[in-house]
Chain A
Amino acid sequence: MDYTLSEEQKMIKKTARDFLTDKCPTKFVREMEEDEKGHSPQLWQEMAGLGWMGLVFPEKYGGTGGSFLDLAVLLEETGHALLPSPFFSTVVLSGLPILDAGSEEQKQKYLPDIVNGKRIFTLALTEPSARYDAASITVKATVDNNDYILSGTKLFVPDAHVADYLLCVARTNEQAKPEEGLTIFIIDAKSPRIGYKVLKTAASDKLCEVTFDQVRVAKGNILGRLDQGWGEVEKVIQWAAVAKCCEVVGIMQRILEMTVEYAKDRIRWHRAIGSFQGVQTDCARMLADVDGARLSTYQTAWRLSEGLPCRKEVAIAKAWMNQASERVLSRGHQLHGGIGLCVEHDLQLYTRRAKAAQSAWGDTDFYKEIVAEETLR
């Protein structure tokens, strides 16, 4: 048993921290909130140059063959820095399923361009029904000779407006059970008849509405098997949930750091407010929340890396993260007083994003039901 990072992982962490401290200060984060793309293509190329996109892909595709745990270390840092980037969409939501379910031809076609930063990808999964179950997918794909015709609306799709490719989950068989009639299509994002609208979100995280109006997609663009896409989608939801937890560990850590710093500096009754027992108790509870999140997240990332079953652990990590991050962001705001509610203060940059993560890739009730199922079987 060992809760420490390897030397390589410490290196990943340090390099990322140094790079992002320099290239991604909160000033940059604010600029990207107003930016149409929401990210810097130049920074994207620098990240590719650091090997970030290739971290979890095998060497034959240009990557460095790292594990999910290595990626977890990197994601904690990108979360800590609030890195505005389609990294999560490209690597976690798209690159991982292509690696897992793609044909060799597809892997050769797409993965190197992910690794070298040439192409941006995202996953178009959720719809106006706002759920993560198979039955909620209504975007239809009907066969037409060697093609499929896709119609319907996807909602809350991250970075769709800058993507080169969309992985779209569509219903190809309406007669079968919901879990047995879904297919993943890899679609050129510039295909005609796809509409994009960037939604105004609290976290300024470039979530999009994507409309498909009889979009033609070749059969060869199916990822995995026809009608058998849901199994792969469930895996992606797990990876995304854990990856999101990693980012939020970084965000929560930063909220804790800022709050403790504030508690040491803010003076009332001739003493730092951090010397009041009430404030101390709140800060210590935040520490427990952050620590619990880090341990459960890394345990799950380790299990994924080792190929161990982890359905219950994923559910526990995300459910705890949702609850703990809410306590941390609330206490963070309370202890900062009024200034923390103002846009010109940095705290809200973190708390808005922590909040958004709670409902992404499965909310608390979704995962509590899984925990109950695993416990009571």
Chain B
Amino acid sequence: MDFGFSKEQEKFRQEVRDFLEEEERRGTFKPAPHAWTTGYNQEFTTQVAQKGWISIWLPKEYGGLGRSWVDHCILYEEMVRYGAPLAIHFHHADFGFAGTIVRQGSEEQKRELLPKMLRGEISETSCGSEPVGSNLDSTLKTTAVLDGDEWVINGEKIWSTHAPHSNILTVIAVTDPQAPKATRTNEFIVDPTTTGVTIRPLPMLSGHPDNLAEVYFDNVRVPKKNLIPGRPTAEAVRSMAAEHAYLHRIMAIYCLWDATIKFVKKTKRDGKLLSQDPLIRSKIAQIEIELEIGRLFDYRIAVSKDKGFDLFHSGEVMVLKAYAAEFEQHVARTVMEIVGLYGQLMPAPELGPVLEEAASAYHYAKSASLRSTPIEYLWCRAAMEGLGLPSYIDPPRRTI
């Protein structure tokens, strides 16, 4: 057992910190909470690409650094701690699309897309969710029909994160409506400038105008080669389960929390520092406790992935996702309690950098329990996969 980091890992962490401090100093970015998903900054992404830090887990044979998942955790722990703008590359590079291309892409897709991704030239959106149907229960409605050398896509997608900023849309569409769930759909790479694609931003209550969007496909013609040929194997699903575990999720709120700690250490109310107020000390302690537990959950997944453990049946991934979502919301609520009336201003410069976005961060955190998978489903999956409880969907009939 070893809960510490190696010298190389500590060195890497320091390297990342030095890079971030330098970029911040140069004015490449201004720290902000949730900038990991709402901060679109091509210059920053290009700088990260030049360090080789986009998809550091990508195997060397694909041009990546082939580094460990613990290193990945370290990289993101620092990136989000500094409130860096990762939105252009993080979503696809480290969570989703890159993995899909490596495991399921054609040779041509790998050759063409992976180098571009590593150079920071790609920004991708996964178009999966729909207003009515779902892939979970085989009621997805968007279709793709082969017509000669092209697939024709029709349908409507919603919650397409980053779509207004992306140069690739990965669209999940039904290709064989009669087939069972595993073979009913395929994924397609779609250029958003293709005729028939309409992207409509969905402004969020957090104040972000185009982080989410609806995407309409009206007879969109896509070359045959844009079909992603492979299907996820059981191996891939297991691996994706962990990648989609939001390895960084616990850490996503670091930036806001660090700013809050700084705030209470220097702000006075009625002549007394907030950091001396027992009620505030209690709130801070509670978050610090939950943060450490979440951090241990996070690194556990990373270490398990590096060791090749089976995570699919362990429930650990689902626990992390659900826990992280609730933790993010708990932090957001606590921050709002501490900043008081200033939590109503958008922004509140009086609170200083990062913390001025407290209201926005609080509202954005509402999505934490909904992103990718609603939390209710996560807890149930943890119970079914991790504890072996029977399915709620089709429970075996039992007699007393």
Contact = CB atoms under 8 A, between A and B. Distances in A.
B261 A276 contact: no
A274 B285 contact: no
A277 B395 CA distance: 11
Interface string A237-279: 0000000000000000000100010011001001110111101
Interface string B1-21: 111111001000000000000
Nearest to B399: A270
B393 to A, nearest CB: 9
A281 B382 CA distance: 8
Given A1-B5, A267-B398, A375-B284, A277 B292 contact: no
Contacts of B391: 275
Nearest to B5: A1
A280 B1 contact: no
Given A1-B299, A271-B390, A291 B319 contact: yes
Interface string B255-290: 000000100110000000001000001101110111
Contacts of B281: 368-369, 372, 376
A284 B285 CA distance: 25
A43 interface: no
Contacts of B392: 275-277, 280
Interface residues of B, number: 55
B376 A281 contact: yes
Nearest to B394: A275
A284 B383 contact: yes
Interface string B305-334: 001000000011011001100000000000
A262 B27 CA distance: 59
Contacts of A9: 1
Contacts of A51: none
Given A3-B303, A264-B389, A372-B282, A272 B380 contact: no
A372 B290 CA distance: 13
Contacts of A316: 288-289, 292-293
A345 B397 CA distance: 27
Contacts of B299: 1
A284 B292 contact: no
A1 B4 contact: yes
A327 to B, nearest CB: 13
A368 B289 contact: yes
A287 B382 contact: yes
A69 B290 CA distance: 23
A263 B380 CA distance: 13
B282 A295 contact: no
B2 A1 contact: yes
A356 to B, nearest CB: 21
Nearest to B386: A287
Contact of B383 (A280, A313, A368): A280
A48 to B, nearest CB: 26
A288 B300 CA distance: 13
Contact of B384 (A1, A280, A295, A308): A280
A373 to B, nearest CB: 8
A356 B121 CA distance: 59
Contacts of A375: 261, 284-285, 288
B2 A284 contact: no
Nearest to B299: A1
A284 B284 contact: no
A267 B284 contact: no
Interface in A120-175: none
A2 interface: yes
Nearest to B400: A267
Interface stretch (A91-99, A200-208, A297-305): A297-305
Contact of B388 (A264, A292, A312): A264
B296 interface: yes
Contacts of B265: 376
Interface in A43-88: 69
Contacts of B285: 319, 367-369, 371-372, 375
B293 A292 contact: yes
20 contacts: A1-B6, A2-B303, A260-B389, A267-B400, A271-B396, A274-B390, A280-B384, A284-B322, A287-B319, A287-B382, A287-B387, A295-B293, A302-B2, A303-B3, A320-B290, A367-B285, A368-B281, A368-B285, A369-B281, A371-B285
Interface of A: 1-6, 9, 69, 256, 260, 263-264, 267, 270-272, 274-277, 279-281, 283-285, 287-288, 291-292, 295-296, 298-299, 302-303, 306, 308, 312-313, 316, 319-320, 323, 365, 367-369, 371-372, 375-376
Given A3-B300, A288-B322, 14 more contacts: A2-B303, A4-B1, A6-B1, A275-B392, A277-B376, A280-B379, A283-B383, A292-B296, A292-B323, A306-B4, A316-B293, A371-B284, A372-B284, A376-B284
A-B pairs, top 5 by smallest CB distance, nearest first, are A275-B395, A280-B383, A372-B281, A368-B285, A284-B382
